[in-house]
Amino acid sequence: RKSTVVITGASSGVGLYAAKALAKRGWDVVMACRDLEKAEKAAQSVGIPKDSYTIMHIDLGSLDSVRQFVNNFRASGKSLDALVCNAAIYMPLIKEPLRSPEGYELTVTTNHLGHFLLCNLMLEDLKNSNASDRRLVILGTVTHNPDELGGKIPPRPDLGNLDGFAAGFKEPISMIDGKKFEPVKAYKDSKVCNVLTMRELHRRYHESTGIIFSSLYPGCVAETPLFRNHYPLFQKLFPLFQKYITGGYVSQELAGERVAAVVADPEYKQSGVYWSWGNRQKKDGKSFVQRVSPQARDDERAERMWELSNKLVGLA
Ligand code: NDP
């Protein structure tokens, strides 16, 4: 049988091109998307063959929707061999936090809590797969890491003591650290949680299940619609800045190939790691295992994040 991969947010950008690359490698791709019509058009626009994908509804910004997706996936009778947590929102210009149906701040819900719940529920499905190689991949980003050039631009991510999570993460709280709302920091914080989740999944479940858990930073994919909520001038200049100044620019096609490689290729069968490509300072484009940020490699924080997230998504 074909191997099956679920990719969240496959209706655009990195997720769409990862879907294309995995379909090309012979995978059965489940595109888990919030807008079914858009996803269908997107799949056709990049030429993914009709018989290699299925579109299923998920809204990562709603925990009920995540649970419903898992039920629908199970009802489809497919086996799950790989899961890619890719969907994300970035809302740099909003002044007030948006909220999920549960009342949680929406950027962290979509990027982290929704995926945290999805990973925990679908761990069961990965365990049930009879494939010898099963992988769970979560997208990271350079901006999670203030130790790197791309992560130095303020505001820097900081989960603090996760007091905002501990206090229930509902109005008037909007940030994980419980401090003032800052939409760019909310995005970066959520990506730190993504890396912590991957590392904690590895620590808890790799040995007992054999599942490979990993993250990657595919490079700066400056032309995806991720920046659609930014100033138009920024959207014009950012790709040029990345191409000619930082050298971090990668095409959507290449980013999709990198995700597909981490999902499917034998070289990437390593758990608990964060992949990066020597495409920023160096030009050779080779992949390597990169050290994550101090907060993202902090085991105590990982455990606290895990316990509090468990409560917020209703698993504990
Ligand atoms: P895009 O904005 O192009 O794609 C994001 C995808 O997530 C879209 O398919 C979008 O759906 C989907 N999505 C957003 N909210 C939800 C939701 N509530 N439920 C379901 N799906 C949702 O962004 P990118 O492709 O650039 O980003 C993808 C990933 O790559 C992210 O995790 C990002 O952090 C990471 N990344 C991106 C980099 C970059 O430079 N672009 C660099 C490093 C990492 P819809 O089409 O309906 O809006």
Nearest ligand 1 atom to alpha carbon 143: 43
Whose Cα sits closest to atom 23 in ligand 1?
A: 226
- Write the CB contacts of 229 (distance below 8 Å, at least 6 apart in sequence): 89, 90, 91, 92, 93, 94
Centre of ligand 1 from the C-alpha of residue 303, in Å: 26
Q: How far is the CA of 208 from the centre of ligand 1 (A)?
A: 31
What is the ipTM score, two decimals?
0.98
Ligand 1 atom at shortest distance from the alpha carbon of 223: 41
Pocket test for ligand 1, best of 16, 34, 227, 290 (most atoms within 8 A of CB): 34
Q: Give nearest CA residue, ligand 1 atom 12.
A: 9
Give the pLDDT of residue 284: 61
Ligand 1 first shell, C-beta below 6 A: 8-9, 11-15, 33-35, 38, 58-61, 86-89, 110, 139, 141, 191, 217, 220-222, 224-226
pLDDT at 134: 98
Task: State residue 280's pLDDT score.
Answer: 55
User: Would residue 274 show up in a list of annotated catalytic residues for this protein?
Assistant: no
Out of 187, 205, 249, 268, pick the active-site residue.
187
- Where do runs of H (alpha helix) occur along 76-222? 106-108, 114-128, 163-166, 183-201, 207-209
Q: Buried b vs exposed e over 201-214: b needs ≥16 C-beta within 10 Å?
A: bbbebeeebebbbb
- 218's CB contacts (< 8 A; 6+ apart) are 14, 139, 250, 254, 255, 258, 259, 277
Cα torsion 196, 229, 18, 222: sign: negative
Q: How many CB atoms lie within 10 A of CB 177?
A: 18
CA of 136 to the centre of ligand 1 (A): 17
Instruction: Ligand 1 pocket test: pick from 226, 257, 263, 292 the residue with the most ligand atoms within 8 Å of its Cβ.
Output: 226
Output the residue whose Cα is nearest ligand 1's atom 46.
11
Neighbours of 147 (CB within 10 A): 13
Question: Which of 6, 8, 12 best tests ligand 1's pocket when mutated (most atoms within 8 Å of CB)?
Answer: 12
Q: What is the pLDDT along the chain (316 residues), one digit of tens a residue?
A: 899 999 999 999 999 999 999 999 999 999 999 999 999 999 999 999 999 999 999 999 999 999 999 999 999 999 999 999 999 999 999 999 999 999 999 999 999 999 999 999 999 999 999 999 999 999 999 888 888 877 888 899 999 999 999 999 999 999 999 999 999 999 999 999 999 999 999 999 999 999 999 999 998 888 888 888 888 888 888 888 777 777 778 889 999 999 999 999 999 999 999 999 875 545 567 899 999 999 999 999 999 999 999 999 999 8
